[in-house]
Structure formats: C-alpha cells, structure tokens
Amino acid sequence: MIRLREFSQAEAEIFVHPDEKDHPAFYRYADYTAPLLTATRQSADLEPVEYTMRTAVDEGVIVNEYVAYYVALTHKILVTIGVDPKRLRFRQHLPDERAHYAVDCWDAEVHSDRFGWVEIVGIADRTDYDLRSHARHSGTSMTVFVPYDEPKQVRKRRIVADMGVLGPKFRDRAKAIAEALAASDPGEDGARITVDGEEIFIPADLYQIREEVVEVRGEEVTPHVIEPSYGIDRMIYVALEHAYAEDEIGGEIRRVLRLPAAVAPVQAAVFPLMNRDCLDDIAREITRRLIRHHILAQYDDSGAIGRRYRRQDEIGTPYTVTIDYDTLEDNTVTIRERDSTEQIRVPIERLPEIFSMLISDAITFPELRV
C-alpha cells in the first residue's frame, strides 16, 4: 500500500482571498498543538518542536491561519484513525524542494517500522498559480468579483483612441488595437502594443489621455488556493501498522488490532455463551438493538468463547458482549474490553447508552465500574 503505482487520493482546493488568509474558524484550533519540523530545524538536524497553531502563525513558522488550520485538522484526523501521535510529525518543505509557486508547504509524515518516515498528507498554499494557469491556457477569466462595503471614488487615467484615424488605417483590427491601447502604459511619444503577436507603435497624436473620477463598486480578484491532499491508501496502511500488536495471555501469543472504536469495522461483537436455552435469541435481539442505535454490531456463535474473543481481537473489535445463564436471572451481560481484556457486568437496557459513550470517548471503560 506504500509503493502502489496508482493510489487513492482525496484533496480539496480551498479558494481564499489573497489578502484575507485569516481562517474564520481558526479559533477552533488556535491552541491545538502539533509537532513541527521546520526547514530551519531540518538544516540543523534537530528534532520537531511542539507548537500551538496560534504561536506557529504569530512567529511566522506557518505562513498563515489557513495552512495552520489544516495542519491541526489533519493531525486530529490521523490520531483519530489510530496513528500513534509519538510517530507523527509535520515536515516543512525545504526551499529547494518547495514548488516555485507555493509560499509554504507541509507534509504529514508517519514513522513506519518497515519504511521509516512516510509522507501521507501534503498541505500547501499554492497562491494563484493554478487559476492563472487555467486562465492563460483556456482564455477564460478565473477571477471573482468582490464588492466593496461602500463604493469608492477612484481617479483613473483613461486612454481614448482616435477611431477616426485608427479605423481607416487598421480596419478590422482597429477595435483590438484600441482595447490594447487602453490597457497600455504609453511613453511621451506614443505607445507600443502587441496585437495577434505583432508589435505596433501608436503615436501620441492618435489617442488622448483623460483623467477622470469613477465610482468603483468592487474588484476582480484571482483567488489563492490552499490545498490539503490526503493519500488514503497510506493513511490506512499506517493506521493498521500502528494498531497491530502482540501480547501473551495464558502462555499464548495474542494478535490484536488496537483500532480506535470510532473506526473499527465491528464496534461490538455479541456472543451467546451457549447456542441454546434462549441465550442465542437474547444475543440476536441485543445485536439488532445495537444496530438500531447506529453501533456496528456483529452476532457470533461459532466456536468456543475463547476462540471468538481471539477472532474479534484480530479484526480490531474493541468490545464484546457475552450472554450467559446469569443473564436469564438478572438481565445483565458481560462486556469485555479488547485492549485490557477486563470484563464488567452491566444491565442489558444500558448497552446502547454505554457503547455510544465508549465509542465517542465520553467515558472510559474503567469508569464503568464507578
């Protein structure tokens, strides 16, 4: 998944005003910290330093709030899917590797036991390069009209061609010449313009320069692009690698995938201790109830209970529910936590509430004992 010839990529192009790069929601991540390996620290062979996003922007480490916002958001996403924060850093592109049109670029890099530091996300301020290139090659304007809060009175210089002379002289090219002349910067003796690849000199007596005050209601702006780009395959790979673990239980090696509950493909597996005496019926009803509460639940009655635990550990299921003969007496079941293998009995009616809180990190498993 690291060395694929083709890969799945998710990216966004966020169009922003070139003079307004303060993110409106930056407050959400102003105090968020992330490990930043700046170009300066790379040159000195130093380790990353933890910065808050506010400090990083204020000190010029990150060029603006938009880039910092997506650095913080990306860090949060990666940690949420199970990337080890101790093996995650954001590396700033060095001046000689950064694209010539970008003013700042950061790569989210994750350390893999097999591949070392691997780039999985790129975040760049690409300025207006993309839209200017599109406009140049397509001949279509890529600007946005941005109105002013109040119209402005602006003194402008207008170049007005003498069409009585230009018309007969240049015929069907006269209009294009007049437009080029209006956009030119004439010298004292005249203006040099280019029309259809031909350079033409227009003497000063063939046009007038008029100063006038006009009302301007806004301006045409070419947006800048902030681009976060995510390598989906690589994100999945590092999440799986960081989640994989082996430990010893009862003299046997247990292989376990410590996926966060929020991204585990099965969040709760439901086991009847025995496949009879209505235990299986209760287990199936619990499974259906959890699914109705949007919990990814799976019924499993195949094999010994220990083998079922191991099977769910291997695919990353964070919690299992066991229905036994005590359930028939007191309407309680056993919840087992994958990582600690600890167990606790709870009432059946509380299962949807408990799992919703566990999956959302509103409560930890040990707190269920309180």
Model pLDDT, residue 248? 86
Is the full-model pTM beyond 0.75?
yes
* 73 in the same domain as 153: no
Q: Please list the residues that pair with 117 across neighbouring strands.
A: 111
With respect to residue 140, please indicate whether it lies within any of the assigned structural domains.
no
Q: From 207, 236, 265, give the residue that closes a domain.
A: 236
* 313 in the same domain as 338: yes
* 151 in the same domain as 122: no
Model pLDDT, residue 94? 94
Other Cβ atoms less than 10 A from the Cβ of 291: the count is: 15
With respect to residue 27, please indicate whether it lies within any of the assigned structural domains.
yes
Other Cβ atoms less than 10 A from the Cβ of 221: the count is: 16
* 87 in the same domain as 186: no
* Domains in the chain, number: 3
Model pLDDT, residue 75? 98
Model pLDDT, residue 336? 97
Per the structure, the complete domain to which residue 363 belongs is given by 253-369
Average pLDDT, integer, range 125-146? 92
* 120 in the same domain as 229: yes
pLDDT one-digit tens code per residue, 192-230? 888 888 898 998 888 888 888 888 888 999 999 999 999
* 165 in the same domain as 116: no
Model pLDDT, residue 298? 97
Model pLDDT, residue 258? 96
With respect to residue 138, please indicate whether it lies within any of the assigned structural domains.
no
* 174 in the same domain as 111: no
Residue 3 confidence (pLDDT) above 80: no
With respect to residue 248, please indicate whether it lies within any of the assigned structural domains.
no
* 111 in the same domain as 35: yes
More confident residue, 212 or 106: 106
pLDDT one-digit tens code per residue, 4-14? 777 789 999 99
Model pLDDT, residue 149? 87
With respect to residue 241, please indicate whether it lies within any of the assigned structural domains.
no
With respect to residue 153, please indicate whether it lies within any of the assigned structural domains.
yes
pLDDT one-digit tens code per residue, 46-89? 999 999 999 999 999 999 999 999 999 999 999 999 999 999 99
